[in-house]
Structure 1
């Protein structure tokens, strides 16, 4: 993931040199970075596990990262609904990889709480919530759902590597990677491990208010530095829609123009706006597809429009 000579800007000393660079953790730009020690001490050069990861991933047609610099914007909820929607086509095989190591919510959102991972001669088997929809998360490995995962970066990176190297994903049309907030260990790891086999792009989820957009700008900057294509922005919780009267109210005012203004400012596509519907949260708590439960809702129509755009972009 280190930039090539042609990609390094003139003011490169102000930017992250990249974890694979010989200068990783040693540049002035690295001072104060929480990953400085990890980058400085990590072995350089090709990862010896990359060939095994590449072998697993060669059967995955499309790889999409779901990102957001801000927590609580509905990133995991969006990932689950995207997965449910893609799997409605019985001819498509879909996988969801939850790399939010410290806050794995995907098992709950996808109705797989209490399931366990099984191991076979070919590797770990994903938990299948449908015949054509498999899920992998550290949430399936915890003895108790309330157990805290208190891990440093290297251990997180090792688990992400195992999810890519050891899980028997089989032939997938889509692998959706649900990431934690921020731009840290998990993001660096999944980007570097998947890059040799190609990442179709990232969908960045935000809410309308400026406090969320500030962190999303950092996520966009991360994608550009890591050479990850950005498929577009999704504005979640874009107004509240009453389930009874269908009236809409602004809950999070877009004081700086919301995702629309940010997309125009940075030259990124706005994939769509999803209204805040309390039934989305209810569906996620119950582990069911919101789009199947409430197909006539405005939020469902917004989801469908966004999903069509994503499919057109990657296919």
Structure 2
């Protein structure tokens, strides 16, 4: 049986949640001109930056926990429903092309499955047992990290997933846009993104959605940086799977070496389209096999692998 304090919020009390309150600054929303609407949205969106700053310690803790989990062979899961679920799936889907991660390393779970990505299925968020079943289906283990995303904090599907993941020993994270005193959590890491009431009351695809996307950007990118998939500010593990990404790979090689574009292209081909390996080969003056071994000795982190060669 799934038990969590957030699931016990009386529906009659949900109107008191921060995400459900009416915003006094938009009381005349339906009377504004288009320009006034744009200006008001712009003013309100400034609050997303403040919310991220207010959650900086919790975000850093989540980065540290997920980094360590992935280093130990674990996985990172995002779980949500509606907009929150779509944002989690989006962030997970962008990791393989950006960082060349295996598709199962970062996974997005949304109530209703793939169909809910393009068609509203919000009614499916109300069953905590379904969230728990999704965790069981993916065989979540103690070395995994499960991030529950729910703007109002009360989504049963998400809370069921968090409870099930906690029972399996996984590290749990909650991302919500309501204060902890409104909806407490038993998640190990508690990220509260307090952007205040929406301009359109209750429409959490607005500020809450924006700040959630910002937090996920920080979390996933921060983890990949810590795992060595970035050199300087370049995505050296980018998957070279189309013309645009090959062009990006070549620009990275040209910028970080003394090579011109044809020479960079030849190097990229010799490295089997692996930018990091190509850089290790060129900067370390190694062949592909030796460069690959050097990177493996340093858990795929280019900078320490290069520094060893300088000693």
TM range (shorter): 0.3 to 0.5
Q: What is the TM-score when the length of structure 1 is the normalising length?
A: 0.36
Larger-gyration structure (1/2): 2
Higher share of residues assigned helix: 2
Q: What is the TM-score when the length of structure 2 is the normalising length?
A: 0.37
